[in-house]
Amino acid sequence: MFESNEVRASTSTKTALDVLDPVKELPLPPDFLWGVATASYQVEGGAEQDGKGPSIWDDFSHRNPSVTSGEDGDVACDHYNRLEEDLALLASYGVDVYRFSICWSRLIPLGGRNDPINEKGIAFYNNLIDGLLARGIRPAVTLYHWDLPLELQKRYGGMLNTAEFQADFEHYARLCFSRFGDRVTQWITFNEPYITALFGFHSGILAPGHSTKTGHDSTTEPWRVGHSQILAHAAAVQTYVTDFQPSQKGAISIVLNSDFYEPYDANSEADKEACQRRLEFYVGWFGDPIYLGADYPASMRKQLGSRLPQFSDAEKDLLKMTAPHNTFYGMNHYTSQFARARIDPPSEDDHTGNVEELTTNSEGVEIGPLSGVSWLRVTHRQFRKLLNWAWNRYQRPIYITENGCPCPGENSMTLDQAVDDQFRIRYFGLYIDAISQAINEDGVKVAGYYAWSFMDNFEWAAGYTIRFGITHVDFPTGTRTPKKSAAYLKETFERRRAAAANGKVKNGKL
């Protein structure tokens, strides 16, 4: 029998919900912060407005239409021109925090430390920050969310030139601190440096699109790019804590993304070791130098050898000096996987620690139910384990700076079906429960949760085919429609925090 897309979408969501755990609505501390997140290229549009210069993503999306389904961020959600509407929507959601990123080439069109500043770009972010504060919403500002000014990539290879990139990033960060820091109390230098390094300089599916297929060296470039981001981060932290933090009283750190890993064979010591090694290649790569002021993990040094850059004595001193000033841990997390140790030696361009990643274990058990995208399964139990792992290793209060999912079949749904996003609501509820358990049962310090994303947007290589938003966006018209998950997040955080504050908690439940 023929079924319409609407019927199939509805049935798919119901079936997916049936295999998800129930939400317990566990309590959270009264001062726990919640908010939503976006990134400049994904929502702003205004690609050539008011003096903005091109970024590597402006270039990449037009140069590689086959990668991005022929789509780009020229208009995206048109946030640049619909700012007042979006501020009103944020206020209606009752968020405490809005995490957004600044487009470097909107402030400095050519990007460099000796290049002109675009005051119209400064004005846009001033209006955004002032508009948030007028509505009682705190800005959490990311300096770099993947959109390097194109001229810097052309001028000296961007992040492949550590010294030049570090100097230009420090200058850009100083500009942001000086113009916006009197009102911003949470700064993030880089969003997901792991993704920038590997997807931009290994697989080439993200800007600037480097891979062996494009004539580049994927055995060394990712590690050089990671090195550059670590040192540029440290330079920006040093600048902030020396010249701005004493008067502005803000906090600064970085955002690291990661899956969590369970052993493919629970009885295999090799697979258990592979889980730890995979996390070291994923998180420790950046976390150990930044939070511990240490060298790269020994497992990375052992496998990568001379491909992994060395820190000079001066760079080691910089990392040791700035490590204590990274006062929070920014965590982006969506899903988890099984890890199986490979028997054969690693390939020359291996970046996993010679680990195979799988969604099913040796007993045929899946890691979790599938969401609306192939790489994301619902794995809230592993999320709790990752919170413990990061806390135990780095001892910093954790902010969940991104977390969310698309619903199964969402992009083919009618508007009425899409806004009734029960799968997303259940996902949010389970992951927030995991935070409560980590805090109240494990002693992990988690201070905030920023859902991804405020609205459906340009999802990089996936274009507009995947929807993560708690706000539906009709891209041809730009019309915004709140989804039910927006109301759920507002209500669940109010309820969970208020119950804890009023002592209305019994046996860890509301």
> ∠ CA(201), CA(232), CA(179), 5° rounding?
120
Give kind and range of the element (H or E) at residue 257: strand 251-257
Q: What is the 3-state secondary structure (H, E, C) of 64-82?
A: CCCCCCCCCCCCCCCCCCC
CA 226-449-272 angle, 5° bins: 55
Helix (H, G, I), strand (E, B) or coil at 194: helix
Identify the active-site residue in 164, 221, 262, 402.
402
Residues 6 or more apart in contact with residue 6 via CB below 8 angstroms: 413, 414, 417
Q: Is 402 a catalytic residue?
A: yes
Q: Sign of torsion, CA 63 67 71 76?
A: negative
H or E element at residue 195: helix 193-201
- Angle in degrees, CA 219, 223, 228, rounded to 5: 145
Is 151 known to be catalytic? no
Cα separation of 219 and 145, whole Å?
24
Taking alpha carbons only, the member of 133, 139, 383 closest to residue 262 is 383
376 contacts 335 by C-beta, under 8 angstroms: yes
- Compute the Cα dihedral for 93, 425, 44, 329 and give only its sign: positive
Using CA of residue 39, residue 44, residue 49, residue 55, what is the dihedral sign? Answer: positive
Q: Tell me the two tokens of residue 116.
A: 């002109």
Task: Find tokens 């129930």 and name the residue.
Answer: 22
**Catalytic residue among 192, 221, 410, 459, which?**
192
Task: Name the nearest CA neighbour of 435 among 406, 468, 401.
Answer: 401
End-to-end CA distance of the chain: 45
Which residues are known catalytic residues?
A: 192, 402
